[in-house]
A and B are shown apart, each in its own frame.
Chain A
């Protein structure tokens, strides 16, 4: 389905995750963050660009991997993206929801 985010029509799935990463830009990221009641600080952006890099490398994301990334530790990750950090961060980053149990 299509949704207007930051004034641009964007393809999303039924949970609101973007299905075409090439449509993503920083304004869309900000708008998606606002939907999750998050205003993005430079730390948020660092984490978002890390998970986008991992996505481009086709590396599956997990909480454990985020914790070992050297970019952010697990505690800070939960503080930056409260309530379901991996789901929230990937949604803002414009990539699919990770199918990870850990």
Chain B
């Protein structure tokens, strides 16, 4: 290891899903990087865009189907109301451990200097406009632009 002795200088976190557990994982990692003095940038692509979509970000859910760690039969997870129940239970637990909601978390990230980028291709695919998105969004980028943001020694990329 010769580049900064392997020290992490910058985290580039790509979020491609908007289930609550994935969004929180990505946010905690980005915020945690800043808390350690590491730069952090996030790239929201495909369904991950919902985490920065003004109207959708307040209504993200926990995945109850296709999530083996829920320890719930797939059929049960798909019943009406089950996902909402699991989500409200998770939100209550989050509040207990002082975890902010999605909007407040975004405010914390931007105040901490995390850069937030939306994926251009996904924005076009979902027909989203810049004004539909969270006001702290830094811009809309192509994949190439995002890679350019990550150039330099000590940068790590993470796909969630």
Q: A62-B98, A85-B35, A87-B36 are in contact. List 11 more A-B contacts (CB 8 A).
A: A63-B31, A63-B35, A64-B104, A67-B108, A67-B111, A74-B111, A78-B34, A78-B112, A84-B36, A100-B35, A102-B100
Q: Which B residues lie within 8 Å of A84 (CB)?
A: 35-37
Which residues in B have some Cβ–Cβ distance to A below 8 Å? 28, 31-32, 34-37, 98-100, 104, 108, 111-113
* Other-chain contact of A74, B32, B98, B112 (Cβ < 8 Å): B112
What is the minimal beta-carbon distance from A1 to any residue of chain B, in angstroms? 23
Q: A57 within 8 Å of B by Cβ?
A: no
What is the minimal beta-carbon distance from A5 to any residue of chain B, in angstroms? 22
Which of B35, B37, B99, B111 counts the most chain A CB atoms within 10 A? B35
What is the minimal beta-carbon distance from A9 to any residue of chain B, in angstroms? 29
Q: Which A residues lie within 8 Å of B111 (CB)?
A: 67, 73-75, 78
Taken together as a complex, chains A and B put the C-alpha atoms of A4 and B99 apart, in Å, by 39
Taken together as a complex, chains A and B put the C-alpha atoms of A100 and B31 apart, in Å, by 11
Q: Is the interface of A mostly helix, strand, loop or mixed?
A: helix
Q: Given the known A-B contacts A74-B111, A74-B112, A78-B113, are A65 and B98 also in contact in the complex, defined by CB atoms under 8 Å?
A: yes
| Complex interface residues of chain A between 26 and 85 (CB less than 8 A to chain B) | 62-65, 67, 73-75, 78, 82-85
B37 touches A101 (CB 8 A): no
Taken together as a complex, chains A and B put the C-alpha atoms of A9 and B98 apart, in Å, by 37
A63 touches B113 (CB 8 A): no
B37 touches A83 (CB 8 A): yes
Q: Which B residues lie within 8 Å of A67 (CB)?
A: 108, 111
